[in-house]
Structure 1
Amino acid sequence: MISKLQSLKNQLVVIVLIALLLPSATMLYDIYYASKSDEVLLAETENKLEQITNLVASEIYNQLDKEGKAYNDEELVRVFKSVAVPLTTSNYPGVRLGLYLTDSAQITIEGYLHEFGERLPEEKHQRDRRIYNEAKEGIAAVQASGTPITRLGNTWDDQFLEHLVPIKTNDQMVAVLWAEERMHPIFAKSKHVRLAVRYVVFTVFGLGVCFTLLTLSNMMNRVRLIKDGLLQLQKNLNNKLPELPGEMGQITRAINKMACGLIEKEQVIEHYKRQEDLLAMGRLTTEIAHELRAPVSIIQATAEAMEVSAKDASEMKDFIDRIGQQVDRHNKLINELLEFGRPNPGVVEVFDLNVLINDVLSYVKPLIEKNNILLDCKNTVTGPLLLDGNADKLKQVFINLIVNAIEAMDNEGKLTIGIQTEGDMAVITIQDTGKGIPQEDLENIFEPFYTRKAKGNGLGLAISKRIIQIHGGSIKVESKADSGSIFTVRLPVQNRHTSPVDNN
């Protein structure tokens, strides 16, 4: 199973995240440290304005208390001007001081935030009204809370910081004093620029993520199409992969081209296979004709000799016996050819394999004793071992295998018959201590007409293999020269066998 880290989709996601990590970290760094620098600048300006307002308020309280005069509007304005004018002209240029009288709503302004000529000229009452409109939110907040406040104000082209404090007498607020200073133009512009840059970066970042996910989705869909197409190609090479754009399309075209090449190769292989089948059929026909011609030639020669040489009934009987033997040989060969060419399971019934093997051993017992063979039966199955099939056909198989083993041992040796089960298969082994089978013959002993016996026709093992295959089983051989052979037959137990093969 493919691990998550090996997934193409996950690999691409990791690469995209790494690629987006650097700009994200840079943006977070800018947001954090830019905010800190703004806070430091505002704190310094706020401390400065707070010192100025405290200084002016102290002077107002000191002078009025020293003179012992009441806190009327005229005196407040006079004292305010006496303190504010030198501060704004000499000590703190660029700082503007203002005094708002709560009873009369009169406003007095000293100092300028902008240098001369930076703005269009305006009348005093227009300037006072404009400044009051800029500061009225802070004045209202001080009147409502009765405590000093600091606020950052905005105009259409500027930003300023102001600090406002109440002026009280007998716990009654009579005026609001404030000091304000214009923030450097770079502060306002950089803030707006940073804000705009953040919006742009986050927008681009979001679009990049969406585009990346969309690209990944399209890529994975194309990969899925290729994967499904390959699965279809496994079933049928004529199923072509769909055309895709880009590099994926190059891959699909290469795969389709490869499939076409495989189809052509399969056609060539099939052509050569048909040629080989025809050659094999020709060889088989030649061998069959040779096998059939031999007994016919003998019959013909015997008949000619009988016609010339037979003198009495005894000689005639001898010639007739010879002809009969060759006719029997001829019929046997024809029957074996028919058995191999049109194998069929015959009558299918349920039988006990143990009983079948015992019957086979009883048939071959005289042959075993005649050749001085020691028989050893090893049956590990307790109780009946039921199979479905044709018992007579399988008896023919085991008789053939046992007779071959006896002939291989040449009048001495040990024959071991083993019966056991492995899962749903019955396993029968026939082992001899004979001369064995040369390695170069092992691959061919089940081929028809392949034999090393002087009197054999090479059909016995081929027919046995076909019968076992019809019963849903298999047969194999293990052998070494001068070390004996082991034939292993596997047959499915009752109700587990495969369907018989086509007999045509």
Structure 2
Amino acid sequence: MSVSHSLSAPHVLVVEDNAAFLDNLRELLDDAGYRVTGALSCREALERAEAGFDVALVDLRLPDGEGTELARELKEKVPESEVVLLTGFATVETAVAAVRAGACAYLMKPCAPSELLLTLEQAMRQVRLHAEKRELARRAQVTEKLAAVGSMTASLSHVIRNPLNAAALQLSMLERRVRRLSAEQQPQLLEPLLLVRDEIRRLDHTLEDFLQFARPRGFRPEPVEVKALLRRVVDFLAGQAEERQVRLELEGDGGATLPPLRGEEERLRQVLIHLTLNALEASPSGGLVRLSVSREAGLACIGVEDSGEGVPLELRERVFEPFFTTKEEGSGLGLSIVQAIVMQHGGSLEVVNAPSGGARFLLRLPLMS
């Protein structure tokens, strides 16, 4: 379970068995810009905590348990959160118990609104600090992976690609000789030969992912017509969509009225082909993959939407990480390369869940003025 760090207001879970006091707290915190979830008991609080929260305000005495024990359980459920205990019967023993339970603060009821809001802001600073530490750790891990890729690149290029090319050449010659044989002899020999050819191609594509990720090319932008770009992608993948029995469509006029994009058509086509192929793979037979485009100020917003199961919230931040993949095969670099190309174009890429329940990748790219 993770803390809810969205662009929305900070989320406060208030656990208080006095309904009138709970309503007062909710009103005060709503006015202060917090998003509030209320609970009247320990059991209800633990259920509400499943959705995540930033700070919990917990009454010390509840009808079905002690606030100190609940504080400990909430911290275990959402480790990067903070808990503030409230009580009308403060003693040295309860203060010590609050600290042991992992509470960051301890307030007497009734407390002044200014004191409560100040304590909440201090707790939110701790929550933000936890998030920053987690992000720094994630970036350090990504940096280590990138360094490893860079050090491997030269070796991969010489040690693997040269013999791989030689093997592909010899295999091509062997295939031509087999096809000169009688029709009865060919199937038995071609089946393993074609299997090896496909595996060599797969290895070559994986190697190309490594090389492209470690050695990004220079950027030479030119005007790129949006509609023509999207139309080429849809036409190119129409056959694969038909094989998978998935409908592939371009919504509306395909951006015919938009100014050109500023970029490299070949690389933008690579981005859209990769996103659309992922969408086709995620969609069940009889499903739909839709490409759409709209204008947002000086940007073209291109959407690639599938009818699959969507991307779980906890994975949305990770899908662009190098080497992260949920597939059994693949290098885990595809979306990292896609994001790098998009960023080089001065754009952005995010994944959300579509209203239909599938995944929707939103690609925003600058238009030429």
TM-score by length of 1: 0.36
TM-score by length of 2: 0.48
Greater C-alpha Rg? 1
Decide which structure has greater helix share: 1
